[in-house]
Structure 1
Amino acid sequence: MGNFPQALLAFIAVLIISCPCALGIATPAALMVGVGKGAEGGILIRGGEILERAEKLSTVIFDKTGTLTRGEPSVTDIVPLAERPKDEILRLAAAVEAGSEHPLGEAIVRAARHQMLDIPKVSNFEAIPGQGIRGEINRDRILLGNRRLFREQGYQINPATEEILTRLESDGKTAMLVGCNGLLMGIVAVADTIKPEAKEAIAALRREKVKVVMLTGDNQRTAEAIARQLGIDKVIAEVLPGDKAQVVKDIQRRGEVVAMVGDGVNDAPALATADIGIAIGSGADVAKETGGIILVKNDVRDVVTSIRLSRATMLKIKQNLFWAFIYNSIGIPIAAFGLLNPIIAAAAMALSSLSVIINSSLLKGFKLSTS
């Protein structure tokens, strides 16, 4: 009984020094600061799990239209193929596109209205995802779309027409055929403007050792022309809207941790399938609801910032766990032998929690830039 007071003090000191308070706040403290820092820079992150997952990203897939490009294309070329006036070709194309919400269709309608053309009403309108549209004007069957659609409808595309299509596509333009009652009437070419910050974002991702893939419904030649301007090596073109999620799954099967960046309704399934869905703030509501990260400023460079913020946050978590464990690892053996006063043990434990909070707060100094 003579050693009971000393044993009791040792017992109390062990209980105090082994308290896992700092361990319990090590992860949430850093995540809270990281998510807050992202919100400060216009990057809304839906919880710490997304931030933790972003640190492991190995591949980022970008949808092209509205993400890497402005999504505000304009008509650049109208090429007659059957000795028809350009105005007539544009008028018919605008008529069938008047019922479409696709950016390319809106560009054609804008061009027709700018030229004060009379746009007739279309009946039996039908959109064919990833291929084009068709409709009827006074019983004339009008078709607008890509090669695949026209070949499936029995149209013949001669070498001269193919050469024109190839030339336009090599310039990074989306070339659409216009047909009426089985006869090719002309070609309407539309081009979108690349976002000025997109090239910088791609270069920054490459510096971070992250693979970049561009996903688009455009034909291969047009897609490759745009990819060259952006510095993207991997292009997956001629993808139907419903197949985007499958493309994400295929890349995931190779062991890649994938982020999908998009803005449209058609991107929502792919955003949900990816390990992390990143939605552009100006995009469709369904895309923003699906995405785990929302880029409020519509700046694709924030994709890089998100990854860097995630890595900085995970580093803070590891540092916090070190500070949480180091006091326990050193203090418990000392306390067990009765060499540590309970008051000192309590101070050490408080210092452990304080060091975790201070270390997490240092994350507020993270620079929200891609440079």
Structure 2
Amino acid sequence: LVVEATKVGADTALQQIVQTVKEAQSRQPEIQNLADRISSYFVPIVIANALLWGIAWYLFPEALAGFVGALPLWGLVASGPAVAGGTVSVFEFAVVVFASSVLIACPCALGLATPAATMVGTSIGAKNGVLFKGGDVLERAKDVDTVVFDKTGTLTEGAMELTDVVPLDGTRTATDGGDPETAADGGAQAFEEPSETTDEATIDEETVLRAAASAESGSEHPLARAIIDGAEAHGIDLADPTEFENVPGHGVRATIDGDELLVGNRKLMRDNDIDPSAAEDDLERLENEGKTAMLVARGGELLGLVADADTVKESAKEAVSALHERGLAVHMITGDNERTARAVAEEVGIDPESVRAGVLPEDKADAVDEIQADGTKAMMVGDGVNDAPALATAHVGTAIGSGTDVAIEAADVTLMRDDPLDVVKAIRISDGTFRKIKQNLLWALGYNTAMIPLASLGLLQPVLAAAAMAFSSVSVLSNSLLFRRYTPDEEYRLLGR
């Protein structure tokens, strides 16, 4: 058994996860700043309140005792001051009231309410393959009202396969590139070796595929890789281009044996004075099937077209449905053509009107800005280098774990698995965490609101006040730890399930 370690030390996936969780727990959400501001006013107010009531009991013991004496707890503190029938002097009782009023107040509970729940929330995320880069990110995710997906590699597997080779005369050959049950369009056919009676068609098909694969041999794009693999699978020898140019968002240009080869979309052809109308029927048919069709031209003449298909991820439709159930709008941005994009969108349940197709890599961030222009808070989900600006622009950027380092660096949330359902989990964890924070803050504020007046009225002994204060802090921590029982496969409920 030979094992190769591709990363060591701090570069391993485990250490990166640990580091991300540590950083997340050290970055405060905005609600923690609110709690800190409350605490900054809380302490001087508590001391002022204790002084006020201590002085009041010292100056007006009989009047206050006559007012408080009717309450059930009266008498627990030495039966009150001596002038009201108690066993301690007025000064001693005033000191007891001051001490109890200070001891019962619990700014600790306010201070613990947010970080305790945030720590548990980020831990739940890590356990479920969702890494938040900070408590502030964990807070922002709950406010998302729109989710924007990239298509390739996010909603689909990103494993493109060659499905069709169509010479200009219209003869069609489907390759063995995909199972008809799992292709994004559901219509890929099994490859049929051309018979000896169709030699002319075979030559034409091989010519188209050889030209396309040779031109794409200089590209690392998934579409190019699928064409090359398809050609190699059928024993077609490829030529090396002497010149190669990638035309972002449109295709490629290559020179082989002095001929210029073009493989790409309609715009690439038109920009080079080639009329694509002869292949329009085949283009529309393939695009309506959810395939990515590319025109192939050589020496200024259109040869035909090739088509690739991707497989929609099994959980994509379920993820979109779950987001809709939460009341979130779902959009899709892709550089693919309109028909292909709409076919995939319809399959996963995204409204075709919420699809932005033909978006160039450098324009994806602008597309996200347009979606957010009316105040919408969008979560962008992507995996490629081209998605990095859009991830940085979105209210929350989410990178698929198998994506590029650039995308992961630009994102606020990293999904360790290639599962669109983890997007739903990320939002559920965020929402659950902040419900838990609100529970903690409500308890802390409610406790202080109820207990400080009791101490000020002389109804609590200092030892009981101190015990109650400790119980308040422990209860906040315990409530946060109960959140560990939560699993984001469903919405958060009050008791953690």
Q: Which bin holds the TM-score, normalised by the shorter protein?
A: over 0.9
Q: Does 1:137 align with 2:256?
A: yes
Instruction: Show CA shifts across 1:255-300 (max 9, x none).
Output: 1111011111111111111111111111111111121111112111
Structure 1 Cα separation of the partners of residues 101 and 271 of structure 2: 79
Structure 2 Cα separation of the partners of residues 101 and 13 of structure 1: 72
- Output the amino acid matched with 2:429: L
Q: CA deviation at 1:358?
A: 1.0
Structure 2 Cα separation of the partners of residues 77 and 8 of structure 1: 90
Q: CA deviation at 1:130?
A: 0.6
Structure 2 Cα separation of the partners of residues 165 and 115 of structure 1: 23
Q: Is the 8 A contact 2:287 2:340 kept in 1?
A: yes
Instruction: Show CA shifts across 1:312-356 (max 9, x none).
Output: 111000000011111210111222222221111111111111111
Selected match of 1:202 from 320, 334, 353? 320
Q: CA deviation at 1:36?
A: 0.1
Q: Is the 8 A contact 1:17 1:327 kept in 2?
A: no
Instruction: Show CA shifts across 1:6-35 (max 9, x none).
Output: 111111111112230000010010010000
Matches within 5 A, 1:12-161: 12-81=99-168, 85-158=204-277, 160-161=278-279
Instruction: Show CA shifts across 1:132-173 (max 9, x none).
Output: 110100110000100111111111122x42111111100001
Q: Matched residue of 1:283: which SS?
A: coil
Selected match of 1:366 from 483, 486, 489? 486
Matches within 5 A, 1:302-317: 302-317=422-437
Q: CA deviation at 1:370?
A: 5.3
- TM value normalised by structure 2: 0.73
* Higher normalized strand content (fraction of residues): 1
Q: CA deviation at 1:308?
A: 0.9
Q: CA deviation at 1:48?
A: 1.1
Q: Matched residue of 2:100: which SS?
A: helix
Q: Matched residue of 2:261: which SS?
A: strand
Q: Is the 8 A contact 1:301 1:370 kept in 2?
A: no
Q: CA deviation at 1:123?
A: 2.2
Instruction: Show CA shifts across 1:31-60 (max 9, x none).
Output: 100000111111111121111111111000
Q: Is the 8 A contact 1:327 1:349 kept in 2?
A: no
Structure 1 Cα separation of the partners of residues 259 and 425 of structure 2: 53
Q: CA deviation at 1:181?
A: 1.4
Matches within 5 A, 1:319-330: 319-330=439-450
Q: Matched residue of 1:65: which SS?
A: helix
Q: Is the 8 A contact 1:9 1:341 kept in 2?
A: yes
Q: CA deviation at 1:368?
A: 3.0
Q: Matched residue of 2:276: which SS?
A: coil
Aligned-residue CA RMSD in angstroms?
1.3
- TM value normalised by structure 1: 0.97
Match of 1:174 in 2: 292
The gaps in structure 1 that reach 5 residues or longer are none
Instruction: Show CA shifts across 1:189-246 (max 9, x none).
Output: 1110101111111111111111100111111111111111111001110000000011
Match of 1:345 in 2: 465
Instruction: Show CA shifts across 1:98-144 (max 9, x none).
Output: 11111111100111111121111112211111111101001100001
Selected match of 2:348 from 210, 223, 230? 230
Q: Is the 8 A contact 1:42 1:295 kept in 2?
A: yes
Match of 2:98 in 1: 11
Moved over 3 A (4+): none
Structure 2 Cα separation of the partners of residues 92 and 346 of structure 1: 83
- Output the amino acid matched with 2:315: E
Q: Matched residue of 1:5: which SS?
A: helix
Match of 2:400 in 1: 280
Q: Is the 8 A contact 1:259 1:276 kept in 2?
A: yes
- Output the amino acid matched with 1:320: N
Q: Matched residue of 1:343: which SS?
A: helix
Structure 2 Cα separation of the partners of residues 116 and 163 of structure 1: 29
Deviates further, 214-223 or 80-89: 80-89
Q: Is the 8 A contact 2:106 2:472 kept in 1?
A: no
Q: Is the 8 A contact 1:218 1:237 kept in 2?
A: yes
- Output the amino acid matched with 2:300: G
Match of 1:251 in 2: 371
- Output the amino acid matched with 1:166: E
Q: Matched residue of 1:206: which SS?
A: helix
- Output the amino acid matched with 2:167: P
Q: Is the 8 A contact 1:204 1:370 kept in 2?
A: no
- Output the amino acid matched with 2:219: S
Match of 1:267 in 2: 387
- Output the amino acid matched with 2:273: G
Deviates further, 76-85 or 113-122: 76-85
Q: Matched residue of 1:119: which SS?
A: coil
| Higher RCO, 1 vs 2 (CA within 8 Å, ≥6 residues apart) | 1
Q: Is the 8 A contact 1:19 1:349 kept in 2?
A: yes
The gaps in structure 2 that reach 5 residues or longer are 1-57, 59-88, 170-200, 492-497
Structure 2 Cα separation of the partners of residues 8 and 179 of structure 1: 95
